[in-house]
Amino acid sequence: MNLSESAQTAPEANLNAIASPQPARCRLVLPHFQSLPTLKAYLPDLLRSLNSHAVPVEVKIVDDGSSRLMQKWILSWTKRLSQTHPELLDTQLLEQNHGKGYAIRQGWNGVSDSIELLAFVDADGSIPADAVSNQLLAALQEPHHLHCGIRPAPSRATRSLKRRFMAACFATYARRMLRIEVKDPQCGFKMVPRSLYQQLHRRFKVNRFAFDCELLAHAALLNTPIREVELPWVESPTSTVRSIRDGWRMMLDLRRIRRSLQLRNRLRRSGDTH
């Protein structure tokens, strides 16, 4: 190669080196079930925000057993979206509905070595995209802490009276039963050190909405530092939580989690932690 050729190609090589994206340090999972309109509205906005804030993140949608027709449409749509947003990974489709916790764990499996944080955010758009981007960047400054989003004090503007009452009752019950110190254990945005999840992933017993509480309870058992971060939040009218049916399941799951924690404590005191 002569000098003139070298001079022509060097700037292009430097430009490519500058433009090459940095490796992702966080995987953000959005569990989804039968709520296509909110996902269509929220995901593009979230991807634009993550990109504009230069968050080193990869994003994965896990569909938890929606209808075949809906899954087919989501798969096609997200493939088109990934052409302009390479941080969007292939969508994972589950054949059956297992629950939010199960879907999140499936999305957290198989990450690359560069990933330091595992996060999830509800796909209903209750937490604004810019708040997600800002908190991911903040969490990456403390990748050994568990960062837990909490909703602001509920008001008529953000939540119905019924949901405020149910949420307050459940949070109080969960804190007392599992000795969780977090004020709002059910807020749908958490950022977890990958190393912590690797320690805990075999211990999880519940697959549905009580997964948040199980995660926090096991993290507390290991003395993991937990940061509570108040977020802007507005209740989504398309929430898949059903107060009576899911509330009863969550209460039963809390009892199941407590039994698991009690057994682990007994094993630990006896010197057998396996």
pLDDT value of position 263: 76
- Angle between helix 100-108 and 211-221 (nearest 10): 60
pLDDT value of position 174: 87
pLDDT value of position 138: 97
pLDDT value of position 152: 85
Other C-beta atoms lying within 10 Å of the C-beta of residue 116: 19
For every residue of 119-150, DSSP letters joined together read EEE-TTS-S-HHHHHHHHHHHHTSTTSEEEEE
pLDDT value of position 246: 64
> What amino acid occupies position 116?
E
> What amino acid occupies position 61?
I
Q: What is the largest CA-CA distance in the chain?
A: 76
pLDDT value of position 11: 44
Q: Is 268 exposed, middle or buried (0-12, 13-18, 19+ CB in 10 A)?
A: exposed
Residue whose tokens read 């969550």: 250
Block mean pLDDT (10 aa), the chain, length 274: 41 42 92 94 98 98 97 97 97 96 96 96 95 98 95 63 75 87 92 96 91 94 93 72 64 88 74 54
Alpha-helix residue ranges (DSSP H) falling in the chain: 3-19, 36-52, 68-82, 100-108, 129-140, 161-178, 194-200, 211-221, 243-269
